[in-house]
Amino acid sequence: MDDNYLTVEALTKYIKRKFDADPYLKKVYVKGELSNVKHHSSGHIYFTLKDDKAQIKGIMYARQAAKLKFSAENGMNVLIECDVNVFEKSGSYQLYASKIEPDGLGSLFLAYEQLKETLQKEGLFDARFKQPLVPFPQMIGVITATTGAAVRDICTTIKRHYPIANIKIFPTLVQGANAAPSIVQSIRQANALGQIDTLIVGRGGGSIEDLWAFNEESVARAIFESRIPIISAVGHETDTTIADFVADFRAPTPTGAAKMAVPDVVELKQRVQSNDVRMLQATKRLLDQRKNRLEKALSSYTMVYPERMYRPFEEQLSRLEQRLEDATSRSMTDRIRDFQSLQNRLRNQMPMRKLALEQQRQKHATYQLQMNMQRMLSKKRQQFQTNIRTLNALNPLSVMERGFSIVYNNKDDVVMSVQQVATEEQITIQVVDGQIDATVLRTK
């Protein structure tokens, strides 16, 4: 019974073989609106194509996506060349796009508009970044193909208008897949050379495909980064490229760029001659004016009678001189008085004078000290002698010299009464010249 049922895988493979076998699904042309656009890091583009009644998922692999001239975006109406097949893993069918074109707009024109909008938002077209041209360049750099008519027109025009300028040609591819890298390399080479005053970048006319290298982002950024002023001269006057917007100046043609890059020697010569005439005329007018002013000055009252002009000032000068002398005299007197006062003060403050005064004070103090010491010594000597006499009067030895003695009992007490000793007691008698040991025989 189970043999009647298919697996999901088997059913999906069967449906896929049906898609593979259908010749009408090998190359399908379908149009619609893009939504859910996702640019994968691998380079693949995933999207949904829809109209007002249906939608289908799709993918464009990186190999085909790299060839797109524009950026696929949500809401864009497109024409897609693709094949239709089944994605087995999800069991859904989807578009595998090989080409995508804008519906109603050319892909190149759309890519041009997208890049123009992006660079304009970044400010690459702003006038504040534009560099001025060198008014009298010594070397002109030309970036173009060496085989076209543009290089001949540029060189001929420069030599005719400004023959003293040197021309440096940078042979460059200006058409084809390798044109953009070649233009970028030439711009950087010219900047690295360091001798170029002005660069002309361009080529002759052609279709939008022929001129496309000058619409590449890498070329636009190389022009913007150039330190040398660049004149863009691409195609005819009606041709406009991204390079024209980024360049410092835009010329309608290569010949126009050559005229813009250098001054016209004939015009310069005429300008110099005109300036010479104007300078001569201005110099003559100035000399005439100065001559008239000199004549008027020489005939003026001041110059004819000069002494009358300064006569009133002589008296004033004399009065001022007298006032100056008086003021100077008074000032000198005051200064001398102040000087003498300061000199006296200084003399009083001189160290030698102070030293002499201090020496006098020291001598006087020394004399006073000596006198006070002598008086004090005399006073102390008298007081000492008085004390000696008093001590002599009170000295027991003096009394003993008159025959008196002092008796001490065996307790070394002075015997003042017979009651203090006993019979047979040892006593000591102190006389003026020594001691006498004795024994008490009796008391009365």
Residue 392 to residue 98: CA distance in whole angstroms: 155
Work out the end-to-end distance of the chain between its first and last CA atoms, rounded to an integer number of angstroms. Answer: 179
Decide if 432 is inside a domain.
Answer: yes
Decide if 304 is inside a domain.
Answer: yes
Predicted pLDDT of residue 114? 81
Decide if 386 is inside a domain.
Answer: no
Helix (H, G, I), strand (E, B) or coil at 264: coil
- Residues 202 and 286 grouped into a single domain: no
Average pLDDT of every residue of the chain: 84
**Mean pLDDT computed over 329-357:** 81
> How sure is the predictor about 410, in pLDDT bands with cuts at 50, 70 and 90?
confident
**Mean pLDDT computed over 174-190:** 91
- Residues 8 and 91 grouped into a single domain: yes
The last residue of a domain, from among 209, 244, 263: 263
Predicted pLDDT of residue 403? 66
- Residues 49 and 165 grouped into a single domain: no
Decide if 149 is inside a domain.
Answer: yes
Residue type, 110: L
- Residues 251 and 288 grouped into a single domain: no
- Residues 64 and 150 grouped into a single domain: no
Decide if 198 is inside a domain.
Answer: yes
Residue 412 to residue 302: CA distance in whole angstroms: 140
Characterize 407-441 residue by residue with b for buried, 16 or more Cβ atoms within 10 angstroms of its Cβ, and e for exposed. Answer: bbbeeeeebeeeebbeeeeebeebeeeeeeeeebe
Predicted pLDDT of residue 340? 85
- Residues 278 and 259 grouped into a single domain: no
pLDDT tens-digit map of 107-149 = 667 777 788 888 889 888 898 999 999 989 999 999 999 887 8
Percent over 70 (pLDDT), the chain: 93
Q: How many structural domains comprise the chain?
A: 4
The last residue of a domain, from among 283, 309, 335: 309
Characterize 201-227 residue by residue with b for buried, 16 or more Cβ atoms within 10 angstroms of its Cβ, and e for exposed. Answer: bbbbbeeeebbbbbbbeebbbbbbebe
Higher pLDDT, 348 or 140: 140
pLDDT tens-digit map of 248-278 = 999 988 888 989 888 888 777 887 888 888 8
Residue 170: pLDDT over 90? yes
Residues in the chain: 444
We report the CATH number of the domain holding residue 196 as: 3.40.50.261
- Residues 74 and 195 grouped into a single domain: no
- Residues 254 and 184 grouped into a single domain: yes
Predicted pLDDT of residue 221? 93
pLDDT tens-digit map of 397-406 = 666 666 677 8
Predicted pLDDT of residue 168? 92
Decide if 14 is inside a domain.
Answer: yes
Q: What is the pTM of this model?
A: 0.47
We report the CATH number of the domain holding residue 42 as: 2.40.50.140
- Residues 37 and 76 grouped into a single domain: yes
- Residues 74 and 138 grouped into a single domain: no
Predicted pLDDT of residue 141? 92
- Residues 203 and 287 grouped into a single domain: no
Predicted pLDDT of residue 310? 67
- Residues 13 and 98 grouped into a single domain: yes
Residue 1: pLDDT over 60? no
Decide if 42 is inside a domain.
Answer: yes
pLDDT tens-digit map of 292-321 = 888 887 777 667 666 666 667 777 887 888
Decide if 83 is inside a domain.
Answer: yes
The range of the structural domain enclosing residue 289 comes to 274-309
Residue 58: pLDDT over 60? yes
